[in-house]
Chains A and B, each alone.
Chain A
Amino acid sequence: MPVKDDLPLPTLRDMLASAHLRLIMFAVLLATASLVLSGGLVIRNYAQRNLELVGRTVAYTVEPAVLFGDREAIRQGIVSVAAGRGIERVEVRDSAGQLLAEWQNPQQGALATLSRAANPVFWPNPAVDQVHRGEDHIAEVRIYGNSEGILRYGLAGTIIALACLGLTVIATRILARQLQSEVVRPLEHVAEVAHAVRRDRAFERRVPASGIAEIDRFGRDFNALLAELQGWHAGLTSENRELAWRASHDGLTGLGNRQMFETTLCGAIDHARRDGSALAVLYLDIDRFKAINDDHGHASGDAALVAVGERLRAAIRQNDLAFRLGGDEFAVLLAPTSGRDQAGMVVERIRQEMAQPFRLPSGVHIAARLSAGVAIFPEDGESGDALLRKADARMYRDKRRDLGSGVFVNA
């Protein structure tokens, strides 16, 4: 299967990691945002109450100084109370609205600048408190808030959120690795088995059980499919073998057929020519086979052919090969380096085997005689055809003698 190298597909681990990352990032950001927002609101509320309290305290503190008309004392009273974080500016005005004293937060720096820029947003209105002496209203105190505390909180929240996100990325990687080993490994088992089946025809391989229900189900189905494939494969193989056997063998007797004989003879001649050795071929047919057919029926002819096949097989030696060439014609290819003597011995044994009567389907026992001719390579011919013709001719000569007085094995 061709694999596109230019655009690599994402692995499951990558997908898991990115999905986790997005999910957890979303969760962390959501939690941080809501926490910072609600915390900011709470702090803002406390700061508002603080402003009001500072206003009350300033009003209380500066009251005598206002009554005495001592501005310096008013200013110092403000400083003693208000000089802390969270207050940007304090003003004390008399009942006519004239400024008696003021104090401004002296803080400098980036945060203070930022805080000043943010003050109108967080503290659009000052906290106001009135200074009374008895019935008389003698002054008004205005406290302007400072957003530095809120900004600090927001900054800390952001830093914590970023730190959490960093941790999240690491945790995501670890989680993805664990999930990969749990999910991907069973899948890899399946892939490995599929590959082995395809490459090595290892139909006996099976996917091991995994700990995940879906993959387990998939694995079971896959294994069932493999079992079916294995069955089909075995069926096909044996069918092929049978077909091949049928193509080269005679269905009735189980001996090799003419085609197989010719192929085998060809190979044997080549072999003998290379080795410079001898080779012997027997050509046989059944005497009066036509009469058996006519007298006892075709089923009896078939039975005679089967009997001849069996006896041939019994008579020949281990490395000799018997064939049915067609009709009542048989051939035997003797084992390599067999000469005329061995051929005579084999023919003699065949005759002995054939001397025993065999039973026909009708219940009659008869004995049949085989006529035989021998051809020797290379004396009687260099080719298979020549050898076969020679053997055939000698077989007919044998048949003509007909008296069964012996085998004519030589010209």
Chain B
Amino acid sequence: MLKRLCLALVLLTSSALMTAPGRAMPLAVMADIPLGPAIPGESRYAGAVVRTVRGMIEYTRWPQRNDPLVLCVAGPTQHAGQIGSIRLSDGRRVDRRNVNATPGALGGCHILYLGNLAIALQRQLTEAVRGRGVLTIAEADPSNAAEAMFAFTYKPNGLSFRLNVDAVSRSGLRVDPRVLRLSQGGA
């Protein structure tokens, strides 16, 4: 019994680590993240978005410990209205900074939140930060054509995201395998 459990754990971990680099295989998608109460004047997805972004940051590990982390928001956004200053469970702080949607403006960013931009521009921006330890999240690219690490998808009753394993493996970051497994579990 014990052995079986250990085996399950090993399988769990290894299946997450078997995401070999170079294989462009975007993975979908975890299931519904509940939306929560709506706030007047805000997008109904805003609450779920800020919770999910926080979770993504929680389970991502940077090569160095940074405190605070800088979350750069590029371009106009629909659902990022509630993203302000986030406090993580280990006490670190995440600060929001709005930046221009140009590759040159991304210095010092640890997280890149892509707003409602043209897919080609989004791709340009993700390619600019690839391998430099930046967590990329696309708000308005449900098919994940721009190859951000995470891409939100919107359902009537909930929020979902796609996880691009290829992008994760080339990002220079480590994402907790349990989050990878979450997306697998939702597939």
| B135 to A: closest C-beta gap in Å | 15
Is A228 at the interface (CB under 8 A from chain B)?
no
Is B89 at the interface (CB under 8 A from chain A)?
yes
Cβ of A57: which chain B residues have Cβ within 8 Å of it? 5, 8-9
Cross-interface CB contact of A50 among B1, B51, B58, B178, cutoff 8 Å:
B1
Given contacts A53-B2, A81-B8, contact A70 B89 (CB under 8 A): no
CB atoms of B5 and A63 under 8 A apart = no
CB atoms of A68 and B30 under 8 A apart = yes
CB atoms of B91 and A134 under 8 A apart = yes
Task: Name the segment of B61-69, B75-83, B124-132, B179-187 touching the other chain.
Answer: B179-187
Cβ of A60: which chain B residues have Cβ within 8 Å of it? 178
CB atoms of A134 and B179 under 8 A apart = no
CB atoms of B55 and A53 under 8 A apart = no
Cα–Cα, bound, A80→B5 (Å)? 10
List 24 A–B pairs whose Cβ atoms lie within 8 Å, in order of A's numbering: A46-B1, A50-B2, A54-B5, A57-B8, A57-B9, A61-B12, A61-B181, A64-B59, A64-B179, A65-B182, A67-B55, A69-B34, A69-B51, A70-B31, A70-B33, A70-B186, A72-B31, A72-B32, A77-B181, A77-B185, A85-B1, A133-B89, A134-B91, A135-B89
Kindly report which residue of chain B lies nearest to residue A138, judged by CB atoms.
B89
Is B52 at the interface (CB under 8 A from chain A)?
yes
Cα–Cα, bound, A255→B34 (Å)? 145
Cβ of A64: which chain B residues have Cβ within 8 Å of it? 55, 58-59, 176, 178-179, 182
Prevailing SS type, chain B contact patch: helix
Q: Which 5 A-B residue pairs are closest in the complex by CB-CB distance? A: A134-B89, A134-B90, A133-B89, A72-B31, A76-B185
CB atoms of A134 and B59 under 8 A apart = no
Given contacts A54-B5, A80-B12, contact A70 B182 (CB under 8 A): yes
Is B24 at the interface (CB under 8 A from chain A)?
no
Is A73 at the interface (CB under 8 A from chain B)?
yes
CB atoms of A73 and B185 under 8 A apart = yes
For the A-B complex with A46-B2, A65-B182, A68-B182 known, give 12 more contacts whose Cβ atoms are closer than 8 Å.
A53-B5, A57-B5, A57-B9, A63-B178, A64-B55, A64-B179, A68-B30, A72-B185, A73-B30, A80-B185, A84-B4, A134-B88
CB atoms of A73 and B182 under 8 A apart = yes
Cβ of B12: which chain A residues have Cβ within 8 Å of it? 61, 80
Kindly report which residue of chain A lies nearest to residue B9, judged by CB atoms.
A57
Is A154 at the interface (CB under 8 A from chain B)?
no
User: Which chain A residues numbered 20 to 54 have a C-beta less than 8 Å away from chain B?
Assistant: 46-47, 49-50, 53-54
Cα–Cα, bound, A113→B21 (Å)? 50
CB atoms of A68 and B186 under 8 A apart = no
User: Which chain B residues numbered 25 to 79 have a C-beta less than 8 Å away from chain A?
Assistant: 30-34, 51-52, 54-55, 58-59
Cβ of B58: which chain A residues have Cβ within 8 Å of it? 64, 67, 133
Cβ of A47: which chain B residues have Cβ within 8 Å of it? 1
| A105 to B: closest C-beta gap in Å | 15
Is A136 at the interface (CB under 8 A from chain B)?
yes
CB atoms of A136 and B1 under 8 A apart = no
| A76 to B: closest C-beta gap in Å | 5
Cα–Cα, bound, A77→B181 (Å)? 9
Cβ of B181: which chain A residues have Cβ within 8 Å of it? 61, 77
Kindly report which residue of chain B lies nearest to residue A47, judged by CB atoms.
B1
Cα–Cα, bound, A70→B181 (Å)? 13
Is A86 at the interface (CB under 8 A from chain B)?
yes
- Per-residue CB contact flags for chain A residues 57-97 toward chain B (1 = under 8 Å, else 0) read 10011011101111011001100110011100000000000
Cβ of A86: which chain B residues have Cβ within 8 Å of it? 1
Cβ of B1: which chain A residues have Cβ within 8 Å of it? 46-47, 50, 84-86
CB atoms of A135 and B32 under 8 A apart = no
Cα–Cα, bound, A12→B32 (Å)? 83
Cβ of B182: which chain A residues have Cβ within 8 Å of it? 64-65, 68, 70, 73
Cα–Cα, bound, A54→B9 (Å)? 11
| B182 to A: closest C-beta gap in Å | 5
Cβ of B32: which chain A residues have Cβ within 8 Å of it? 70, 72
From B5, B34, B179, B182, residue with most partner A Cβ within 10 Å: B182
| A110 to B: closest C-beta gap in Å | 23
User: Which chain B residues numbered 154 to 187 have a C-beta less than 8 Å away from chain A?
Assistant: 176, 178-179, 181-182, 185-186
Kindly report which residue of chain B lies nearest to residue A83, judged by CB atoms.
B8
Kindly report which residue of chain B lies nearest to residue A50, judged by CB atoms.
B1
Given contacts A57-B9, A64-B176, contact A72 B186 (CB under 8 A): yes
CB atoms of A70 and B30 under 8 A apart = yes
CB atoms of B91 and A135 under 8 A apart = yes
| B68 to A: closest C-beta gap in Å | 15
Cβ of B178: which chain A residues have Cβ within 8 Å of it? 60-61, 63-64
| B147 to A: closest C-beta gap in Å | 22
| B187 to A: closest C-beta gap in Å | 11
From A68, A134, A136, residue with most partner B Cβ within 10 Å: A68
Kindly report which residue of chain A lies nearest to residue B59, judged by CB atoms.
A64
| B74 to A: closest C-beta gap in Å | 24
User: Which chain A residues numbered 244 to 265 have a C-beta less than 8 Å away from chain B?
Assistant: none
CB atoms of A81 and B5 under 8 A apart = yes
| B35 to A: closest C-beta gap in Å | 10
| A135 to B: closest C-beta gap in Å | 6
Cα–Cα, bound, A171→B159 (Å)? 74
Cβ of B52: which chain A residues have Cβ within 8 Å of it? 68
Cα–Cα, bound, A50→B2 (Å)? 6
